[in-house]
Amino acid sequence: MGMDGGGGHALKAPSGVVLNAVELHCTGKHQVTRLSAPTDRAARAVLESRVGSSVFVQGAYAYKGGTHDLPDSERWEVACDSNRPLHLFDVRDALAAHVSSLGYRSWFGFGGILHVAGLPGAQTVDGVLVDRRLRLRIVDDGVDGAVTSLVGRADTRWLVSDLLQDPIRASRCLGESVERLTGDGPRRGRVLSVDGPTFAVAAGPNVSVVPTSDYVIAANSRFVVQEFGPSTLRRLQVASGSLSTSGQRNRYAVKDRYSALARGLNAIGGEFELLGGGTVVMSDELAMIRLQDAP
């Protein structure tokens, strides 16, 4: 019999409730640089190149945490509660700078999610690296908008570092996804061709020729089976937590992901500095928050 007493479906948790979150406590002031807003996308790209990362554009102005000596710029102080979107941007920007300073790889993905990779606990299985990753986003609690929270999710990815340098196996990497570990080429892309120590990688409409040694293959299940066999895939699934050591579905996967999230946040540390001064402190326990439901 179902939860409704008549054989119906079980109750589901509200879609706006988030359990994998910690509260963030900010010092209350943001010291930022304020500039005239760029007039178009090209001008914005030039501005972001000069300050080293993205800027926050709101109305007639663009903002960036910290001090940037640029024409027509001025120092600007903003209280957290007076401009919540700018507050969230500055906290997110500071967190990205903090994790990079610790030596972890980080980048922003779709929807402003901060990816943090290279965390402690990585394993190597048959030459494939099981890399630990966090996906983080900074949000306001949807109840009153006055509580800032860090919502996190832990997962893994599989990286293969030597196939592009292998002249015999490199041709089988055509069409595969790659990620940059060093150098200054595109962060992600798809292999078009390999020519000795360099290869052509497509990132969107752009094609770059870069050193193969700067990149790794971001392997999926199909590629692992193709290059390493089904037994390696099974061992990788165990190392990633989707299968138990007996090869069965891991019934504790959700609990394990929460534990991995806590370990990842501990590796990042409980506080970080805003780019313009001031400190953001994480709470020491996961909390339930309510986000604004999608319309």
By three-state DSSP, how is residue 68 classified? coil
pTM of the model: 0.85
Which residues are within 8 A (CB) of 158 and not within 5 positions of it... i.e. 6 or more apart? 128, 129, 130, 131, 218, 219, 220, 224, 236, 240
Which residues are within 8 A (CB) of 289 and not within 5 positions of it... i.e. 6 or more apart? 17, 18, 21, 23, 139, 141, 142, 143, 147, 149, 151
Chain segment 158-209, per-residue pLDDT in tens: 999 888 888 888 889 999 999 998 888 999 999 999 998 999 999 989 999 9
Do 16 and 290 form a contact (C-beta atoms < 8 A)?
yes
Q: In 3-state terms, the chain is what percent helix, strand and coil (to 5)?
A: 25, 40, 35
Residue among 223, 115, 221 nearest 164 (CA): 223
Which residues are within 8 A (CB) of 113 and not within 5 positions of it... i.e. 6 or more apart? 135, 136, 137
Chain segment 42-79, per-residue pLDDT in tens: 999 999 988 888 999 999 999 999 888 888 889 999 99
Buried residues in 123-133 as b, exposed as e (16+ CB within 10 A)? eebeebbbbbb
